[in-house]
Chain A
Amino acid sequence: DAGVIQSPRHEVTEMGQEVTLRCKPISGHNSLFWYRQTMMRGLELLIYFNNNVPIDDSGMPEDRFSAKMPNASFSTLKIQPSEPRDSAVYFCANTLAGGDYNEQFFGPGTRLTVL
């Protein structure tokens, strides 16, 4: 397994543009998490899915952010419209069905810069 795959690895966009971040989870996962990491706020949980169903989106900062998981192999995090304060590294992470409790496998992250 190639591990958690995120794309793009880097994204530079202008304020007001739509941004879509993508995550391909590990095969056999059961939970998927989206995190945001900044110097000021550290690592923040935005939303997570269990078996493709959104469970807790209380960490999503505002309505400009949305996340979907249309199937077990793919998830997206969308920001529309983007703002400079959204600049951060966004991580996708998974737990494995039948794996050790709570152990999460992280992707390499997408570094987003909004100008």
Chain B
Amino acid sequence: AQSVTQPDIHITVSEGASLELRCNYSYGATPYLFWYVQSPGQGLQLLLKYFSGDTLVQGIKGFEAEFKRSQSSFNLRKPSVHWSDAAEYFCAVGALGNKLVFGAGTILRVKS
């Protein structure tokens, strides 16, 4: 069965610093991979997605993620974090029936 692990529950970075959020997945075939962001009191918003092709995908708000099959990873990165990036981030893998299997989420705090 598919599963997603986000090893970091909380991460704190300084504004302007770079960011990397880790995501590892378990899936037998080529996965469909997603990153969502949830701001406080809001629903989940899609940041980026990977289906095939170029393993480095660009998303909204300056985020990117790299698919590494050998490591079963899909880490999210941003070169310079802004205070408005403080939110919870969810990695997800596609499953049968249009379902998504979500990780537990990583809460990002940004220090000014």
Which of B90, B99, B104 contacts A45 (CB under 8 A)?
A: B99
Number of interface residues of B (CB under 8 A): 20
For chain A, residues 77 to 115, give those with C-beta under 8 angstroms from any C-beta of chain B: 91, 93, 95, 100-109
User: Is B98 close to A, CB under 8 A?
Assistant: yes
For the complex formed, measure the closest distance between the CB of A87 and the CB atoms of chain B, giving whole angstroms.
Answer: 15
Majority DSSP secondary structure for residues of A touching B: strand
Which of A42, A102, A109 contacts B32 (CB under 8 A)?
A: A102
Say yes or no: A42 contacts B102, CB within 8 Å: yes
The stretch that binds A, out of B17-25, B39-47, B60-68, B75-83, is B39-47
User: Is A55 close to B, CB under 8 A?
Assistant: yes
Say yes or no: B43 contacts A56, CB within 8 Å: no
Say yes or no: A48 contacts B98, CB within 8 Å: yes
Which of A43, A50, A93, A102 contacts B95 (CB under 8 A)?
A: A102
Q: Which of A30, A50, A105, A106 has the most CB of B within 10 A?
A: A106
